[in-house]
Structure 1
């Protein structure tokens, strides 16, 4: 990291924001991210399904991925780590513990969720990347990372099952439990 990136991370950690807003450090600077109830509910439901359906793994949310690469440490909405490697005091997890990550789309993050973040997760060798778009009611599962890109894509609508490979298991998520943003 450069000196300026270190200072930006330090500033990010010091800023006090309401619970309904998160501050994200991206390649393009700091971004305020409003968190919708659809986002929070969907995140919670995915974490619950991980706990119920993926023996030997513990669901984690809102954490940093280390080490930083190209001055960037992504902060996925959901993932899982092997239960024997889970630390309840951790706010960051090494990329080699993560077999999949999930990003839940917010209005300001939609473009990054499908492009920039996909590239970063593929570069890290994370085997599966799920984008849950609560704005459109659709999901996209990217798998088979190679040379910094995912080579396989599956898409579907809320209501369909999503099968995510996790070592010698398959996590099956029920996307009918996801919540879509309803625009008035």
Structure 2
């Protein structure tokens, strides 16, 4: 991270009111700022959050994650941490404490969600990464992370169409109901997995 990046992050931390409608992340040394998500996006995140049992799990939206060995502080749409794995304080949860990172794809986040964050979360050894894509009406669950840096990836991929249940074994056999996830009109975008 450069000195300019560090100063910008200090400004974000000290004056959140200036950036309240934007999502700001540090991804591999680059500060990325996006407009706030739309209604469909937020309802999907809320549905996932509400379905995951709270007894064993903290289900937290917009929580920054520290990826070891990376100049990255991504902010997944939802972070699932087993209670007791991280006690805080601080705005950064260490990636090894995260059990599941969830991203809901938006028009501006396609490449970040499918490519950049995939390798970042794998490099951070986050056991499961769930990409929910309302444009394609599907979920992509990635498990078994391996490798380091930009070459890191997940060994196992499971694609599920909206409407089919999705087994999240990493959460103790929990099954996610995707039948009420909203969709968005398809947009032209680069070919991704």
Alignment partner of 1:175 out of 152, 175, 178: 178
Q: Which has the higher strand share?
A: 1
Alignment partner of 2:43 out of 38, 41, 44: 41
Instruction: Give the superposed CA RMSD.
Output: 2.3
- For 2:53 and 2:105, locate their aligned partners in 1 and report how far apart those are by CA, in whole Å: 22
Aligned to 1:93: 93
Aligned to 2:161: 157
User: Deviations along 1:118-173, whole A, 9 cap, x unmatched?
Assistant: 00000011111100012221111111111121111111211111112326x12211
Aligned pair count? 179
Gaps of 5+ in 1: none
**Alignment of structure 1 residues 19-98 onto 2, 5 Å:** 19=21, 21-27=22-28, 28-51=30-53, 55-67=55-67, 69-85=69-85, 91-98=91-98
**Alignment of structure 1 residues 125-136 onto 2, 5 Å:** 125-136=125-136
Aligned to 2:138: 138
User: Deviations along 1:47-88, whole A, 9 cap, x unmatched?
Assistant: 000136xx4112111100125643111111112212235659
Q: Calculate the TM-score normalised by the size of structure 2.
A: 0.81
- For 1:85 and 1:123, locate their aligned partners in 2 and report how far apart those are by CA, in whole Å: 19
| CA 69–10 in structure 1, closer or farther in 2 if over 3 Å, else same | farther
Gaps of 5+ in 2: 187-193
Q: Is the 8 A contact 1:140 1:156 kept in 2?
A: yes
Q: Is the 8 A contact 1:12 1:25 kept in 2?
A: no
